[in-house]
Amino acid sequence: MRGIPRWAIAGFIASTMATVTSSCTAQAPDTFRWIDFHSPADQDVVVWVTRALDNEKWTAIREIGVEYDAALVIATIRANPQAAPDRDTFSIWSISLSDRKLTHLVDGANLRLMDWLLLNVGQGGELSALYDDCNDCQATTYFTAFHYDLRQHTFAARWMQGGEAAPVWASNPALGVTQTQVFAVMADGNGRETLGTCNHLDYGKEKPAEETVYRYDIDPLSDGERTQLLSGRDAATMKDRLCRAEDAVPGLSRGQDSSVCQTSQKPHHERRPVTTPPANNQGQSRPPRAPR
């Protein structure tokens, strides 16, 4: 569905930008830039991207980011002309600036662009994002990050499995199950960020509770995504970090006030001051002698 004429796309962008929330505060790579839809110097990129998406379903192009010979494109789809803008869904594409080749990255709803993260030491920053799988529903929230792949000359999304990224929050537990969740993107000692999640399922008297703790990070050698189910001491350490969230990236943490964190934190016992006088105290004291 095309909700606007192609020639009017630049003017439409400004009115639709309000539905994307961005809190980017970290530094983007020097080779990355966002396209200015109102700049004559960027019109060739706008036209190129628009033509590349000619056979795809979209209503508006919301953002175009360029790095080297690829464009990261965020497009929205409106169900009908009367639908509210906050009910739009989105698609994200990588488009070659050499031959208009399309690479579909992710679909979803309620996209929130977040910080630029350092996921692998020595590599460039990656644009992190949270998104939901649907609107007006018990949605699952996912986390991903977009980066330029030097080997493929295209943008790519992290931790994609079956069309979805790393799940960090679910709103649809099974009937009779109490679900408690915690997640955070945290900085390691070397400065790179890692995603951790904890999902606690309480079945009441039906069966023992279950708890899964995951770590999502990047292999420093291959630059590939790793998803690790933790156990034992590793799980306990990650859970403690998640609950404390002392090194969490702003906006990329949730659930630290939940019961799973309150029960896992060890109480801190403060040393009380001694108020009982010593046994040989006679209630007398002498001031020091004045110097002669």
Tell me if 246 sits within 8 A of 185, measured CB to CB.
no
20 and 152 share a domain? yes
64 and 166 share a domain? yes
Q: What angle do CA 116, 119, 121 make, to 5 degrees?
A: 115
pLDDT level of residue 151 (50, 70, 90 thresholds): very high
Residue ending a domain, choose from 154, 170, 186: 170
CB neighbour burial string for 64-84, b if at least 16 within 10 angstroms, e if fewer = bbbbeebbbbbbbbbeeeeee
What are residue 245's phi and psi, to 5 degrees? 50, 35
Establish if 285 belongs to a structural domain. Answer: no
Supply 168's token pair: 């960090």
- Percent of the chain beyond pLDDT 90? 68
Mean residue pLDDT of the chain comes to 85
Establish if 272 belongs to a structural domain. Answer: no
pLDDT level of residue 262 (50, 70, 90 thresholds): confident
Distance of alpha carbon 240 from the chain centroid: 20
141 and 255 share a domain? no
Exposed / middle / buried, residue 179 (Cβ in 10 Å: 0-12, 13-18, 19+)? middle
Residue with tokens 């006679």: 282
Distance of alpha carbon 125 from the chain centroid: 14
- Percent of the chain beyond pLDDT 70? 81
Q: Which range of residues forms the domain containing residue 243? A: 173-265
Q: Which of 61-65, 126-130, 200-204 has the lowest average pLDDT?
A: 200-204
- Tell me which amino acid residue 57 is: K
Establish if 47 belongs to a structural domain. Answer: yes
Provide the domain count of the chain.
2
93 and 207 share a domain? no
51 and 166 share a domain? yes
Q: Please check the confidence at residue 101 and state whether its pLDDT lies above 90.
A: yes
Exposed / middle / buried, residue 231 (Cβ in 10 Å: 0-12, 13-18, 19+)? exposed
164 and 29 share a domain? yes
104 and 204 share a domain? no
161 and 21 share a domain? yes
pLDDT score of 275: 53
